Amino acid sequence: MVIDHPIFLESMRFIRSHLGANDLNYLEKKVLERLVHTSGDFSVQNLLEFSEGACEKGLQALKNGAPILTDTDMAAAAIKSMAENTTRNKVFTARMWDGENNQKKLSKTAYGLSEGWKELSVKNSGMKSPIVVIGSSPTALTHLIDILDNAKDIPSLIIGMPVGFIGVEKSKNELLSTDLPRIVLNSTRGGAAMAASSVNALLRESI
């Protein structure tokens, strides 16, 4: 059960009253509100992009017990508490699979995330396909997109919010060019907290 602090509730009321007009649906607005709350910045409204039905697909997957795979321990930590208090989805990180990386071309995170995806997608089918959350590593996002090309199984949802300057915007543009269900924060903005807050917004709506 999620019990909100009065200050959080007041913050959300403030955010709703100050957001500009938009065409977002109910769930998309919930994600936007959490991102504004996490960043303290209303300008993220202009950077946020959803594929059609992305939030609905992600929410249904969470309700069906889909595992959540993140690129960093920080994102995982930010999600675990909310997951435990809502639908109890299991949360995994790329680091759990990065120890066997013998491919010099891949970063440890890119390798670990792809191996984690392969294992979790085999164990979970249909609506339980994992939700992948990337808030740090653009190489992990790019490599995931590569291995999903013409793949039979795809994530229920990809949160594409790596942060930084090298390869970040390119990786997001690659994700946007696909038909994969996705939530993307354009530009160099992003981070573990932002990516996690997007999932937490959907977890809140699962109960």
What's the pLDDT score for residue 9? 92
What's the pLDDT score for residue 24? 97
Residue 104 is given by DSSP the state T
- C-alpha distances (whole Å) from 23 to each of 28, 48, 100, 176 are 9, 12, 45, 19
Closest CA to 187 of 132, 138, 114: 138
The answer to whether position 96 is within a domain reads yes
**Cα(130)–Cα(58) distance, integer angstroms:** 9
Q: Which residue has the tokens 């609506």?
A: 127
The answer to whether position 65 is within a domain reads yes
Closest CA to 135 of 117, 154, 165, 159: 159
What's the pLDDT score for residue 120? 95
The answer to whether position 152 is within a domain reads yes
Residue 110 is given by DSSP the state H
- C-alpha distances (whole Å) from 150 to each of 1, 28, 173 are 40, 28, 18
**Cα(123)–Cα(130) distance, integer angstroms:** 10
**Cα(194)–Cα(25) distance, integer angstroms:** 20
| Residue 144 belongs to domain spanning | 46-204
CATH of the domain at 144: 3.40.50.10230
**Cα(53)–Cα(25) distance, integer angstroms:** 10
The answer to whether position 30 is within a domain reads no
Polymer length in residues for the chain: 207
Specify the pTM.
0.95
The answer to whether position 171 is within a domain reads yes
The answer to whether position 145 is within a domain reads yes
49-91 pLDDT tens trace: 999 999 999 999 999 999 999 999 999 999 999 999 999 999 9
The answer to whether position 195 is within a domain reads yes
**Cα(198)–Cα(181) distance, integer angstroms:** 14
The answer to whether position 130 is within a domain reads yes
The count of domains in the chain is 1
